[in-house]
Chains A and B, each alone.
Chain A
Amino acid sequence: MPFKIINKLVLADQVKRIDIIAPNIARRINPGQFVSVAPEEDDEHIPLTVTAYDLIKGSIMLIFPEVGHTTKKLGAMHIHEEIYSVLGPLGRSARIGKEGLVVCIATGIRIAQILPICRAFRDKGNRIIGVIGAKTKRSLMLEPQMRLACDKLYIATNDGSYERRGQATDILGEVLEKNRIDCVYAIGSVEMMRAVCAMTGQKNIKTLVKLNPVMTDCMGMCGSCRVKVGGKMVLACIEGPEFNGFDVDFDDLEIRMNAYEENAQWGNLPSEHKTGNGGPKTLTKFLSGILKG
């Protein structure tokens, strides 16, 4: 089945949005679910959240920053080109109930992941306070869409170039002080989600978080997405990616997220194992490795 790109936009600094034809996925996708994408044959498959879908066109919308090999390649593809593989919908859908007053908080690129959650909460008749944060005004994205999806939206930028200066969690603290909140939904870095859970834990507010551990196959066959939740190892691609915030072992998650940062540990490896800059030497070495086998 061809997965054709039918639309492509630049949303913010280095952030791209693409719409892909995938009727089978659009038909079944629920908020909070993701797809696994490989731009070309034999590329790495990466998980990306489906931000929105269009049943008439049969398309899904993905938003991603160009940070690494796969996202750069995906970002370089043009309209009408076909993506090699898109698998989904994956993961469990978000548990969206009638809660009352809900705070949805996300930072940076994760705003793309909270948008469908906000919309789903609103459709269930909840009132929503949105809190989003970004480094600078230039990297802030999806502001109009978030404004439409939330009853009230607070924005923080770390350098103060837009609206409030500071962290999104600072705003959350104030919001929690002033209102009686029934539920908090947080998507962000490990520190951010840990801070959110610490705040809501004091007040005993229901807190849901969406984790982004490194995934390989996204269908429960490799174990790379294992996270400790409620004292047990679970696979985030099968049982998640959404979990109850108070059950998540954030220290463990931090270790898992860090585990794939190559340079953290083996920066001094022979060049063949540094990704990205595969020079000719790398290739020869690798070939000879294979031929030996």
Chain B
Amino acid sequence: MCVRACPLEINIPGFIRSLREGRVSDAYAIIREKSCLPSICGRICSAPCEVACVLNEEAAPIGIRALERYAADFGKGKLAKKQRLLYGGKKVAVIGSGPAGLSAAADLAQRGYQVTVYEAFDKPGGILRYGIPEFRVPKKTLDHEIDQIKALGVTIETNFLIGHTATLEEIRQKFSAVLLATGAGIPKFMDLPGTSLGGVYYGEEFLMRVNRAKSTFFSRGVPKLPLGQKIAVIGSGNTALDCARTGVRLGRQVTLIFRRLEEDMYVAEEERQYAKEEGIQFASLVKPVEILPDSNNFVRGLKCVRMDFADRDGSGNWEVAELPDSEFNLDVDTVVIAVGHNPNSLVGEGTPSLKINDDGTMQVRDNDSMTSIPGVFSAGNVRTNAGPVVEAMASGKKAAEDIDRYLRG
């Protein structure tokens, strides 16, 4: 069951058996066959396999994610270079070095292509680097995984923003195929009065600043952004939870505000429990309506209304609706908004032939990852808009297959 649930099709019973027999490096090798970022997945995967676990009916599922983390952290050895099959050394460019781009790059390199990854940031990793905080994915672990991928012969070119430093068209001409894996890193704006005030941040900025400051705390250490003592985080996804948990680690008092029920949050149960243990207050069924300014135009408080389930038209359809006269002011001085992302299709700037859907996702052919430009493929969150790491990786692997098929004709 679990193997079918895993988008990467990792041989889960196989590696667990190896672990049970004490062969940790064998377990690692089994995972490694399918996944090029095992210690990342072992930490933050949404673990669809655990949901599908056969033991679920009787008791709790096996902690597959934790086992994977163990195997990856303790079983890792030097990555043996696989024998390379050379298809005339064709060159492939991968744009974006998030999980989708990296998996595709690793797969393509293993198939004997010359792969160059272009990344706009100064370091590769995508959201794993600048979004997810250090305490969930240590930068050292990430560096190690990326070194392994580089060892396969992948070149990573940072500080290179496709669409600006070079256009997609130029890259297309230099390479036999191009993969767009630019992710979905653009924050969704929230339509709320007061979002311009001082002390209001979007989750991406908050995490990015903390992440960039933290990675060498000896030289600098402090994120350069003004923070109050009481933070309200708006949102119920992974980003919101990460912002909240980061806030706690900065010594702040954090309230997480969201419109739905706690059980309906889009996060792994485990993460939610951690957050509770860390002392984050959960304000479920609350909707913010206005950020209140003080005389300096900084945040003074957050005006909210309570929500509840209501059967408004009597049809038995219970929906979340505002409770009348339930307005209250939350006493906070910083607000972090993390209500979702839009796909990053800015790579198409200056290349009108690249077709983009109305919601910003990349248009692709059915059953294939190719976009409207022949030889240009896309994978990861830029295609799906949102989704867990494993799906981005699986989509990267699928794109690698499609590219391989395309290049072999």
> Which residues does A use to contact B, with CB under 8 Å?
1, 24-25, 28, 38, 40-45, 69, 84-90, 216-217, 219-224, 226, 228, 233, 238, 252, 255-256, 258-262, 264-266, 269-270, 272-273, 275, 278, 282-283, 285-287, 289-290, 292-293
Contacts and interface: CB of A to CB of B under 8 A. Distances in A.
Interface string B83-127: 000000000000000000000000000000000000011100000
B296 A264 contact: yes
A226 B222 contact: no
B205 A42 contact: no
Interface in B192-243: 195-202, 204-205, 208-209, 212-222, 224-229
A222 B217 contact: no
B344 interface: yes
Nearest to A267: B226
B166 interface: yes
Contacts of B315: none
Contact of A87 (B120, B197, B215): B120
A278 B222 contact: yes
A260 B161 contact: no
B213 A258 contact: no
Interface of B: 120-122, 130, 134-135, 157-161, 164-166, 185-187, 189, 195-202, 204-205, 208-209, 212-222, 224-229, 245, 249-251, 294, 296-298, 333, 344, 346
A246 B198 CA distance: 24
A264 B134 CA distance: 30
Given A38-B122, A286-B221, A220 B346 contact: yes
B122 A85 contact: yes
Given A87-B159, A226-B195, A273-B222, 18 more contacts: A24-B166, A42-B212, A44-B224, A216-B208, A216-B209, A221-B185, A221-B186, A222-B187, A223-B189, A223-B202, A224-B201, A259-B298, A260-B225, A265-B226, A275-B222, A275-B224, A286-B217, A290-B217
A255 B228 contact: no
A255 B212 contact: no
Contacts of A287: 217
A40 B219 CA distance: 10
A275 B227 CA distance: 12
A255 B193 CA distance: 13
A260 B198 CA distance: 7
Contacts of B296: 258, 264-265
Given A28-B165, A223-B187, A260-B225, A233 B195 contact: yes
Contacts of B195: 226, 233
Nearest to B167: A28
B224 A289 contact: no
Given A89-B165, A216-B205, A222-B202, A1 B222 contact: no
A54 B23 CA distance: 60
